[in-house]
Amino acid sequence: MTRPVWLEAGRGAVITGGASGIGLAMGRALAAAGMNVLLADSDAGRLDEAAEALGQAHPDVRIERFAVDVSRREEVEALSQSAFAAFEDIALVMNNAGVGGGGHAFEAPDRWERVLGVNLWGVIHGVQVFTPALITQGRPAAIINTGSKQGITSPPGDTAYNVSKAGVKTLTEGLEHSLRDLPDRKVRAHLLIPGFTFTGMTRQADKPPGAWTAEQVVDFALERVAAGDFYILCPDNEVSRKLDEARIAWAAGDLIENRPPLSRWSPEWREAFAAFLAEQGL
């Protein structure tokens, strides 16, 4: 596999939501490649276990841990200070921490605040705190923000989560546009859009057949980052890239054709959506 230009042994990586799932899988992949890794997470107990295991598996690299609530800017600032004190330089910041369970549009304001605080404000804090320092280093580096297909097609169920991930998409697009305008720019941004992935958030004991593992997502992400992709749209064992593209196109069509919002899930539009998929050979 071709490596991203910033992936070098001895350089540092900071990963929020790093105690499990995609974050921990990324930490394992980078440590195996010789990078020093700082795992950050709000679950201190799980974080200690993950960091200990990663350190034992890769004793030749430096593994750090930092308990953080990314919804609080001051804690992300402390994370940055700790990371730059521990590592000579930082090649990757992965804003990956996320929670679900927000609720629909007019319920549970406390849960909405928590979901937006972690999923959106946590990424905003990570971008605003780390980006200037990465630019100042003058070396190739990357910011990977973990989004979601739910932030693009907005399926009914957890509107708070959809809003948070839609915000991450827009933020990351704006970040990459701003970085692109810098003279001799060395820092790039990428939007990771996982498919159905078996992680701690799925709350299932065994991996469903349709899901990818977190390791598959990380392998795919690093391959696409090396290829220069901004949008890292991951398939899974149930949904192909072609089907994802059709669903995204239909969602955009709601606006263009002035259909009811989220028409894909409306009984009146079920046959039209099925016909649309058939036209795409799906």
Shared domain check, 184 and 90: yes
Query: Is residue 208 helix, strand or coil?
Result: coil
Residue pair 137/90 in contact by the 8 Å Cβ criterion: yes
140 in the same domain as 259: no
pLDDT digit string (tens) for 22-41? 999 999 999 999 999 999 99
**Which is catalytic among the residues 130, 161, 212, 220?**
161
Question: Can you give the length of the chain in residues?
Answer: 282
Same domain, yes or no: 88 and 188 = yes
Same domain, 117 and 244: no
Instruction: Please say if the pLDDT value at position 213 is more than 80.
Output: yes
pLDDT of residue 88: 86
Residue 231 annotated to the active site:
no
Report the share of the chain in percent with pLDDT over 70: 98
Domain residues for the domain of 257 are: 240-282
In three-state secondary structure terms, 142 is: strand
Same domain, 112 and 220: yes
**pLDDT for 203:** 53
Residue range 125-147, pLDDT digits in tens: 999 999 999 999 999 999 999 99
Does one domain contain both 92 and 38? yes
* Phi, psi for 158 (deg, rounded to 5): -130, 80
Same domain (yes/no): 282, 181: no
Mean pLDDT of 201-229: 89
* Mean pLDDT value across residues 193-197: 95
DSSP 121: I
The number of domains in the chain is 2
**Structure confidence at residue 199 (pLDDT):** 82
Residue 201 has pLDDT above 60, yes or no: no
Q: What is the pLDDT of residues 33-73, one digit of tens each?
A: 999 999 999 999 999 999 999 999 999 999 999 999 999 99
| Residues 208, 153 share a domain | yes
d(CA 154, CA 26): 26
Count H helices, E strands: the chain?
A: 10, 9
Do 194 and 253 lie in one domain? The reply is no
**102 assigned to some structural domain:** yes
Q: Which residue has the tokens 């404000």?
A: 121
Q: Which helix (H) or strand (E) holds 160?
A: helix 159-180
CATH of the domain at 122: 3.40.50.720
Section 76-90 average pLDDT? 97
What percentage of residues in the chain have a pLDDT greater than 90? Answer: 95
- For residues 236 and 244, what is the distance between their CA atoms, to the nearest angstrom? 10
Q: Are 119 and 161 in contact (CB under 8 A)?
A: yes
Domain assignment present for 28: yes
Residue 1's pLDDT is 64
